[in-house]
Amino acid sequence: MPEANPPVFRRAVIALSGGSFDDKIVRLALEVSRQTHAELIAVHVVELNWTQPLDADVAERSEEAQRVLDAAEGIAEAMHGKLESVLVQARDVGAAIVDEAAARDADLLILGLPYRTRFGGDFAIGRAVPYALKNAPCAVWVVREPIGEESK
């Protein structure tokens, strides 16, 4: 069987949730981008509720957000890769990620999906992934965490 060529993209936005699966999608993006030297942008969205202005100072949450971005940068450095990290404040995570991909003229959007179930055992996909699949102006990769590795 002939070896498949890796997908080619020039710029990818990686959506980071702050969950345990972030490191795996950052590693995947770095590995796949290695041959083409694609630009990688790691985005973490701090979701604000409707009572807060979009320019609200979310200092208590920004430390956590910075930790998420620093971890992604650390992985890139360890793998001798490069990525830019961006912190965004928004009302809706899915819309913010899609807007960032469009603004950056990305040809790939990568999202991690934790394996979670709702009460009753139904698989829960959340709101951001369906929004991105429906609205992203570029290719979308959804990388689901394996069953049994749920965030605790």
Task: Flag whether pLDDT at 49 surpasses 60.
Answer: yes
| Paired tokens of 3 | 């070896």
In angstroms, the CA 113 to CA 22 distance is: 9
- Residue 42 CA to residue 16 CA, distance in Å, equals 7
Distance CA 14, CA 72 (A): 10
- Taking the C-alpha atoms of residue 149 and residue 137, their distance in angstroms, rounded to an integer, is 31
Rounded mean pLDDT of 137-148?
Answer: 90
Stated pTM of the model: 0.85
Lowest mean pLDDT of 64-68, 121-125, 132-136, name the range. 121-125
4 has a pLDDT exceeding 80:
no
Question: Looking at residue 104, what is its pLDDT?
Answer: 97
Q: Do 32 and 139 contact (CB within 8 A), yes or no?
A: no
The Cα–Cα gap between 46 and 13 comes to 16
In this prediction, what percent of the chain has a pLDDT beyond 90? 57
Mean pLDDT computed over 53-72: 76
Q: For position 152, what pLDDT does the model report?
A: 42
121 vs 137: which has the higher pLDDT: 137
Average pLDDT over residues 95-101: 97
What residue ranges define each of the domains in the chain, with the CATH number in brackets? 11-144 (3.40.50.620)
